[in-house]
A and B are shown apart, each in its own frame.
Chain A
Amino acid sequence: MAEREVLVYPDPRLKEICSPAEIGSEATNNLVQDLIDSMYGSGHSVGIAAPQIGVCRRVAIVDVSHNKLGKKHNHGLVVLINPEIVESSGSKSMREGCMSVPDYTGNVERAREIVVQFTDGDGNDQVIRCKGFEAVAIQHELDHLDGLLFLDRVTNPKTDIFKRKG
């Protein structure tokens, strides 16, 4: 398979709600491989979702194990087909950027810990518990499957700091 070009906003495909992927089909397997090639090919990304390479299917991959923020808690390469977050708790704010929104970053608050249910690349049903950076990365990628960008979730750092005043 091949490294694919990563779409950049305002490409309308980034704002669509993706449909479920067919488990075990050739199209899904090829898509997973393209996502892996595109993520590792970019050199610095820790996750990518199908719509970012122009495919409107509910598939994303995440691998935070090579990033210093993800060293402690990670599941290596996670292939998420038709994923769903079934539980989330706590909150964690990180400054996020996105390959599809170059030159812009913003603080985003997400759950600190999540339980995610999905089918993996071998067609097995999985339920895993993730925390910290890996949990943030998964939530960011899963948002892409619903046409949401981190821009939809940016919080103002100033209001965070002073919100308890008065």
Chain B
Amino acid sequence: MQHFALTIIGRDRPGIVSSTAEILFQLGCNVADSSSTILGGQFAMILILSHPEISDIEQMEQAFHGLEEQGLSVFVRALKPGGEQRPDLPGELCMISVYGSDKPGIVYQVTKVLSENNINIVDLNTKLIGSAERPVYVMMCETVLPENLDDDDLKALMDELKQQLNVDISVRTVTPVEL
């Protein structure tokens, strides 16, 4: 079955999800995975879809024209076979909290260290909070460690970065417990 990635973004208001879901339902799409949230004043949706018959991307794009007329930006991408499957990531799951006075390069410096150590980011949220005079940057980054690293190794890496960037960083394990 052909899988597609669908991205929708536009000025937030009630009804974006239901307009989208109506089209998906009428089209006969399956939503395999999705995440939607407000970012600034925009509502953003990302969905992984499949359809038992449609494999043509243009046919898929056409179905969402109505949304574009409502002022939403729509992007459809056809996935390569297997692209809908999440790879098996067996390592420890760690949450990294980074926060401090806003300055350029916080995300870059942190993610550079992660990438150099083959640490995979599976979820990332950043937000500018505080007042206009004293802006504070908050970054929450969920990562999967490679099998040769544990949370103490990640803590050591982040401690070093904490000194360099002059921000607060904490690391904790969030590996799920099966009960």
Determine chain A's interface SS by DSSP, over half rule.
mixed
Closest approach, in angstroms, between the C-beta of B45 and any C-beta of chain A?
16
Which residue, of B93, B178, B179, has the highest number of chain A Cβ atoms within 10 A?
Answer: B179
Stretch of A42-50, A73-81, A116-124 contacting B (4+ beta carbons < 8 Å): A42-50
Chain A contact residue count (CB 8 A cutoff): 24
Q: How many residues of B contact A (CB 8 A)?
A: 13
Cβ proximity bits A141-154 to B, threshold 8 Å, 1 near / 0 not: 10000000010000
Choose among B127, B129, B179 the residue that contacts A98 (Cβ–Cβ < 8 A).
Answer: B179
Cβ B176 vs Cβ A96 within 8 A = yes
| Chain B contacts with A in 127-178, Cβ cutoff 8 A | 127, 129, 138, 140, 174-178
Q: Which residue of B lies closest to A104 (CB)?
A: B176
Contact with B along A79-100 (1 / 0, CB 8 A): 0000000000000001111110
Report the tally of A-B residue pairs with Cβ distances under 8 A: 44
A94:B129 contact, CB within 8 angstroms: no
Considering the complex, which residues of chain B in the window 95-131 have a beta carbon less than 8 Å from any beta carbon of chain A?
125, 127, 129
Main secondary structure of the interface of B (DSSP, over half): strand
Are the CB atoms of B127 and A162 closer together than 8 Å? yes
Binding site for B on A (CB under 8 A): 44-47, 67, 69, 94-99, 105, 133, 136-137, 140-141, 150, 157-158, 161-162, 165
Q: Which residues of B contact A (CB under 8 A)?
A: 37, 93, 125, 127, 129, 138, 140, 174-179
Minimum-distance CB pairs A-B, first 8: A105-B176, A140-B179, A97-B176, A95-B176, A97-B178, A95-B174, A47-B179, A137-B179
